[in-house]
Structure 1
Amino acid sequence: MTLRIGHRGAGGHAPENTLAAIECSMTLHAHLVEVDVRATSDNQLVLLHDATLDRTTNGHGPIVSQRWSDLQEIRGHDGQLLPLLADALCAVSGRIGMMIEIKTEGIAKQICRMVKEVQFNGTVIYASFFHDELLKVRREEPQAQTMALIEAVPVNQTAFAKDAHASHVGVAFETLTPSFLKALHDRSLRVFTYTVNEPVDIQTARAMGVDGIISDYPERLL
């Protein structure tokens, strides 16, 4: 079975990385919902893809320079406060799984501890382009599922995943080839591909034999 993952909640239907998008992803029968996590200057974990507030909120500037108290007047395109990771975990727990993309270095341990603190009930996959963060996850939670994200095929096709002690690999759809997929599968790695929205591309990815497809439109993966 190919897993269905809602990208940034369900970014094709509701503002990305919002509780509304997460709820939409669950309604549209995703197996997991993917969210992006960054930290404020006072170490509050919030859902936000970009390094700055500008694109997805009415605020401005880097999130890392903002305190949580500074964000109380900031609203996303859904008119709501930036969601805290804790709120997202509680909304999803017991319903579907969550794929948490660690967007910056230095917050992996805190994210792991938040998942434990809320007693999340379900599958969690920790994903990052910062592969050292995945090693920190592994040290904090030895049995965790971790995903090494990549945009292009490395010279050594599988060493990066071994170095990160990853159980999964996330590959940009434009990069994915049958031979690369086979090399990863031969190393017992589960392979997800992102971000796949067009029906013809979804069919191609499924025919290749990927283990999961990440899409802004989870219902297209049914």
Structure 2
Amino acid sequence: MNKKLLVGAGVAFTLLFNPFSQASAGELSVGERKQMDNVAHRGASGYAPENTIAAFDLAVDMKADYIEIDVQRSKDGELVLIHDTTVNRTTNGTGNVRDLTFEQLRSLDAGSWFGEEFAGERLPTFEEILDRYRGKVGILIELKAPELYPGIEKQVAQALKERNMDKPKNNKIIIQSFNFESMKISNELLPRVPIGVLTSNRAHTTAEALEEFSTYADWFNPSYGIVTEELVNQVHSLGMKMGSWTARSQEAVDFLFEMGVDAIITDYPDYVDPRK
């Protein structure tokens, strides 16, 4: 997909209809706040162990627009959800994700570290998540350290295609990564799926860098520490959207509302949408 074809229309639309161009967070109506996508970071991970069914189910209950998931691969080729490239922090095991078989990964307790009430939570598979949540909530898929897993882009694409999820309605499937080459590959494999690039590096916010991203990405997703109103406007002017991470306080959420980003990626979905 050549994202450049969309830039002209995107710029015009942004300038005409961006509700944040004149408003601050305190001035936004309830309707305007609801226009911003509420993305549950690794699920509602402020309240349940990250990247588990418990966290994702809670995010759905809390009316999140998307769940954000981290995808890696077992030694024997199964796509599993876990953030770190080792299992040490969020399970009762040790070792690199890529060095453990699916059976070994599946046997781990991924919940007790967070709280006794979550004992026995398992690492979900990518396909389980697609089957469980399709049609219920958007899914923001992060390819975590794809350089460790050659061909993972094709494997993810195949799983989506098998479920006819490579043509997502309302753009409710997004793929993102810190690895830009991986995202170029994903864009070629899945031309109808929105692509996002992740960064916390200010060097990636130059006019030249943003222009390059806009040739294949639909979303520019920076850490909230480098977000400015000027950056948001630059991103919008190139026809891209911005989802910023990770808002872990009400103050951070309100700041991002004020900046006019398109999505807030948070451990606490109720900070974005107080319905829960």
C-alpha separation between the residues in 1 aligned to 2:203 and 2:69? 25
CA contact (8 A) 2:70 2:143 kept: yes
Which has more strand, going by share of residues?
1
SS of structure 1 residue aligned to 2:54: helix
Shift of 1:179: 1.5
The yes-or-no answer on 1:2 pairing with 2:36 is yes
| Counterpart for residue 103 of structure 1 | 144
Q: Which residue of 1 aligns with 2:253?
A: 202
Q: Which amino acid counterpart does residue 23 of structure 1 have in structure 2?
A: D
Is contact 2:127-2:159 (8 Å) kept? yes
- Determine which of 175, 195, 199 is the counterpart of 1:150: 199
Deviation sequence 1:110-159 (CA, Å, 0-9, x none) = 11111222344651100100011111111111121010001022266244
Q: Distance in 2 between matches of 1:156 and 1:196?
A: 20
Residue 130 of structure 2: aligned partner: 89
Match of 1:177 among 228, 241, 249: 228
CA distance in 1, matches of 2:102, 2:204: 41
Q: Report if aligned partners of 2:221, 2:245 keep a CA contact under 8 Å in 1.
A: yes
More helix by share: 2
Number of paired residues? 222
Deviation at 1:54, TM superposition (A): 0.6
Match of 1:116 in 2: 161
Do residues 21 (structure 1) and 60 (structure 2) align?
no
Q: Aligned pair 1:221/2:272, yes or no?
A: yes
Bigger drift between 57-66 and 179-188 goes to: 179-188
Q: Taking structure 2 as the reference length, what is the TM-score of the superposition?
A: 0.77
The answer (yes or no) to whether the contact 1:192–1:213 under 8 Å persists in 2 is yes
CA distance in 2, matches of 1:150, 1:159: 15
- Code of the aligned partner of 1:209: G
- 8 Å contact 2:53–2:121 — kept in the other structure? no
TM-superposition CA deviations, 1:7-64 (whole Å, max 9, x none) = 0011001100001111111100110100101011111100000000010011100000
What is the aligned-residue RMSD (CA, Å)? Answer: 1.5
CA distance in 1, matches of 2:135, 2:101: 31
Give the Cα separation in 2 of the matches to 1:91 and 1:69. Answer: 21
In the alignment, structure 2 segments of 5+ residues that lack a partner are 1-34, 112-117
- In structure 1, the residue matched to 2:97 is 63
Task: Give the number of the structure whose alpha-carbon radius of gyration is greater.
Answer: 2
Amino acid at match of 1:109: K
Q: Equivalents in 2 of 1:119, 1:4: separation in Å?
A: 24
CA distance in 2 between counterparts of 1:217 and 1:95 reads 19
Relative distance call for 1:161 and 1:84 in structure 2 (3 A) is farther
Kept in 2: contact 1:36–1:47 (CA 8 A): yes
- Tell me: CA distance 1:145–1:161, structure 2 relative to 1, closer, same or farther (3 Å): farther
Q: Give the % identical residues.
A: 28
1:139 equivalent in alignment to 2:200:
no
The higher-RCO structure (CA 8 Å, 6+ apart) is 2
Structure 1 pair 184–64 and aligned structure 2 pair: CA distance change class (3 A): same
Inter-CA distance 160–102: structure 2 relative to 1 (3 Å threshold): farther
- 1:155/1:86 CA distance change after superposition, 3 Å: closer
Q: CA deviation at 1:162?
A: 4.5
